[in-house]
Amino acid sequence: MDKFNKLEGVAAPLPMINVDTDMIIPKQFLKTIHRTGLGKALFDEMRYAKDGSEIADFVLNKPAYRKAQILVTGDNFGCGSSREHAPWALLDFGIRCVIAPSFADIFYNNCFKNGILPIKLPQEMVDKLMDDAERGANAVVTIDLEAQEIRGPDGGMIKFEVDAFRRQCLLNGWDDIGLTLRDEDKISAYEKNHKAQAPWV
């Protein structure tokens, strides 16, 4: 997966609580096992009318937020069923960071495994960033994972906490496969040794 070090991008405000994974990517889009192509279906039922036309007042359909890379949202984001397609859809749209007061555990874990940084902050700090995000195209926020800092469009700074191991994985672009391949030499040596000791296996 792509490394995450410093991200500077437009933050889109989604002031909703309990946004579940079916809202993020509805069930009819779960037939694929490919991680690409799902961005167009992100928030499908909120972004599009039944005739397929865009709902103009949904945040990601507004010109200022069409290329948003950061999502500022409400409590318990990513609740509901444990579909990995949810972070896939966010990532395919271009979202690399989601900021909220809290996340559903499985969604939170899946974000890290797919190169998205989920940041938990106290409600008052989320409210401040939500206010910043309302500035439209001027809502440029910088996320510095190395320093664990968020800088708003007015220059204000917020510190955030993240698990050290997960931080290291994002900084280096290590998903589960990448972590395993770091020990490829040891794995190959073990397999060679095991084959010599038990050639019948």
The per-residue pLDDT string of the chain (201 residues; one tens digit each, 9 = 90 and over) reads 899 999 999 999 999 999 999 999 999 998 888 888 999 999 999 999 999 999 999 999 999 999 999 999 999 999 998 899 999 999 999 999 999 999 999 999 999 999 999 999 999 999 999 999 998 878 899 999 999 999 998 889 999 999 999 999 999 999 877 777 666 777 777 787 878 888 887
Say which residues have a Cβ less than 8 Å from residue 18's Cβ, sequence separation at least 6: 74, 75, 76, 79
- Residue 62 structure tokens: 């507004």
Q: Is 79 helix (H, G, I), strand (E, B) or coil?
A: strand
Domains of the chain, first to last? 6-174 (3.20.19.10)
CA distance 79 to 86: 10
